Amino acid sequence: MVGMGKFLKQAQRMQQQMTQLQDSLAEKELEVTAGGGMVTIKITGSQRITGISIKPEVVDPDDVEMLEDLILAAVNQAVETSQKMVQDEMSKITGGMNIPGFGM
């Protein structure tokens, strides 16, 4: 029974650390670019996009599809980068274990 109590305390401590980390990551902002810096996306650790910047020279009314592709690529790269950051930070707490309910 002593082992179970210790395990529960560790799990509770890990949960508290995860909650603190989630709060911290929600405030952390990454900046990701695509198209050689033509499109820049700002995203938080909670995968919330906080900004999109587009260089004027990439805006061509005759080629809207290229701009759409650049924005799509930048957003996808930003989300992937943010998710990787979250996974890396969470694995520091969980020791690399995939624990259900501890993800974002």
Domains in the chain, please, with CATH? 2-94 (3.30.1310.10)
- The predicted-structure confidence for 42-92, as pLDDT tens digits, reads as follows 999 889 999 999 999 999 999 999 999 999 999 999 999 999 988 888 888
Q: Where are the beta strands (DSSP E) in 23-66?
A: 29-34, 39-44, 49-54
pLDDT of 16: 86
pTM of the predicted model over 0.75: no
Instruction: Report whether 28 contacts 49 (CB < 8 A).
Output: no
Q: Three-state DSSP class for 64?
A: helix
Residue 104 clears pLDDT 70, i.e. is over it: no
Can you read off the two tokens belonging to residue 51?
């900004």
